[in-house]
Structure formats: structure tokens, C-alpha cells
């Protein structure tokens, strides 16, 4: 069974131990755009008065990522500080991808990133992006992104053929990605 999660929905999910205690809430979802893998989560506290936590949750310490909670073994799965997460976020090119412009190599703007779609059967993998209306197409589409040329918090550069393989919903992404992969192989 394939399930698709929106990365923005994972933000605010509770982090729950297998003993049933909620120890934090997800703040940021940090992912590696080239591998399509989730790197880590930054965390915030629980409750109305809580602010961000100076702790992080690395992907290798996650027991499972579900639609309703991020499960961890116990509280010791959290890092003592947020050093590891900050290092990745503050490196050149790191930053929030929401609102980043999607641009083809040929310089056509395809829109701006609204959300990141993650597939969670097996190891969660970023399989595409929900992209909001560009000037020409006036609707939200889902773009499969395999091998983006380069990504930063500002912009994502994708192969020109990507524009021909959009999907209307997250479930259409694997097929669109397959089509794009074949096209890229032909072009290569």
C-alpha cells in the first residue's frame, strides 16, 4: 500500500515514543533534494506556551513516520542539541523550499513550490512537489522530480522535460516520474 504524505502536514505532527508519551512536535522537515531522503526534523515543545526546542531528531533514530505521528523508540532517540540539524540547514543552498521557484534548464518558470510529497511505503522518499500556478498554467500541479539539476531555498532547476510530465494528484506522481525517467534516458 502506498500512502502519500505532504511534508507540511508532517510539520506539527507529535513525536511519540513506543510507550505512548508525546515528547515533542515536529517543527521543520529537512530533506536531501538530490537523494530524495528525509535528513532530520527540528522540534518544538508541546502546549500553548512552548517554543522551539533546541533538540533535533535525526532520520536514523526515527522508528516510523506515519500520517498521525512520528514514532520513536524512547526519549533518548532525540539529539541533545540541534547542532546536527542547524549544520544542514545553514549550509549554502539550505533553506525553506516552500515558495521556491521551479525553473527549467531552459529558463521557463513552472510555478512555486507549495508542498513536498513524500511516499511512505518502505523508506519515505520525496517523490515530487506540489507546484502552485505559474503565469501560464493557472492551476496547481504535481511535478515529479527525479534528479533535479540543482536546488536551493530560493529556486529549483529541473530538466526541461519535467513540464511534460505533471500529475493532477499525488497518486499520479509515480507514473509521471516513470514517464520522465524514460524520456530523460532517451535524451541522454
Partner 1 sequence: MLFSTAQGRTVIALSTAERLGTIAACTLAPSPAHISSLHLRTRGRHGHIMLWKNVQSFGEDAVTIRSAEGLKPEKELESTEEAHKSHDPLGKRVLTESGESMGIVEDIDFDEKDGSLRALLTTEGKVPGDRLMGVGSYAVVVQRPE
Partner 2 sequence: MDWWIWLIIALAVLAAVASSVVALQARRRSGSVIVAGRRSQAGRKGGRT
Q: Does 60 bind partner 2 (CB under 8 A)?
A: no
Which residues inside 98-127 make contact with partner 2, applying CB under 8 A?
98, 115-116
CA–CA dist 86, 137 (Å, integer):
36
- 49 contact partners, CB below 8 Å, separation of at least 6: none
Cβ at position 14, least distance to partner 1 in Å: 7
Residue with Cβ nearer partner 2 (92 or 122): 92
Q: Does 51 bind partner 2 (CB under 8 A)?
A: yes
CA dihedral angle for residue 57, residue 60, residue 65, residue 71, rounded to 10 degrees: -60
Residue with Cβ nearer partner 1 (14 or 174): 14
Residue 25 interacts with which of partner 1, partner 2, none, CB < 5 to 8 Å by class: partner 2
Which part of the chain contacts partner 2 (CB under 8 A), choosing from 45-53, 102-110, 160-168, 170-178?
A: 45-53
Cβ at position 64, least distance to partner 2 in Å: 19
Contact 11, 96 (CB under 8 A): no
Residue with Cβ nearer partner 1 (22 or 87): 22
Residue with Cβ nearer partner 1 (25 or 55): 25
The residue written with cell numbers 520525496 in the block is 126
Q: Which long-range contacts (CB under 8 A, 24 or more apart) does 134-142 make?
A: 134/102, 134/109, 134/110, 135/109, 137/111, 140/114, 141/111, 141/166, 141/167, 141/168, 142/117, 142/166, 142/167, 142/168, 142/169, 142/170, 142/172, 142/173, 142/176
Would you tell me which residues interact with partner 1 (CB under 8 A)? 13-14, 16-22, 63-71
Cβ at position 60, least distance to partner 1 in Å: 16
Contact 55, 24 (CB under 8 A): yes
Residue with Cβ nearer partner 2 (115 or 176): 115
Q: Does 52 bind partner 2 (CB under 8 A)?
A: yes
CA dihedral angle for residue 123, residue 116, residue 2, residue 166, rounded to 10 degrees: -130
Binding residues for partner 2 (CB under 8 A): 7-8, 11-12, 25-34, 39, 42, 44-45, 48-52, 87-98, 115-116, 151-153
Amino acid at each position: 500500500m502506498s500512502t502519500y504524505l505532504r511534508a507540511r502536514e508532517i510539520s506539527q505532527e507529535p513525536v511519540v515514543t513506543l510507550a505512548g508519551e508525546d515528547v515533542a512536535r515536529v517543527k521543520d522537515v529537512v530533506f536531501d533534494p538530490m537523494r530524495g531522503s528525509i535528513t532530520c526534523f527540528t522540534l518544538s515543545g508541546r502546549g500553548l506556551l512552548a517554543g522551539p526546542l533546541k533538540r533535533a531528531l535525526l532520520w536514523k533514530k526515527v522508528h516510523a513516520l506515519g500520517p498521525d505521528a512520528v514514532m520513536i523508540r524512547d526519549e533518548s532517540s532525540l539529539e541533545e542539541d540541534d547542532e546536527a540539524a542547524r549544520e544542514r540547514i545553514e549550509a549554502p543552498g539550505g533553506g525553506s523550499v516552500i515558495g521556491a521557484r521551479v525553473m527549467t534548464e531552459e529558463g521557463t518558470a513552472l510555478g512555486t513550490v507549495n508542498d513536498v510529497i513524500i511516499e511512505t511505503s518502505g523508506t519515505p522518499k520525496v517523490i515530487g512537489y506540489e507546484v502552485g500556478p505559474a503565469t501560464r498554467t493557472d492551476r496547481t500541479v504535481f511535478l515529479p522530480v527525479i534528479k533535479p539539476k540543482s536546488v536551493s531555498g530560493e529556486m529549483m532547476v529541473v530538466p526541461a522535460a519535467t513540464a511534460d510530465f505533471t500529475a493532477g494528484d499525488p497518486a499520479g506522481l509515480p507514473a509521471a516520474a516513470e514517464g520522465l525517467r524514460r524520456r530523460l534516458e532517451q535524451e541522454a
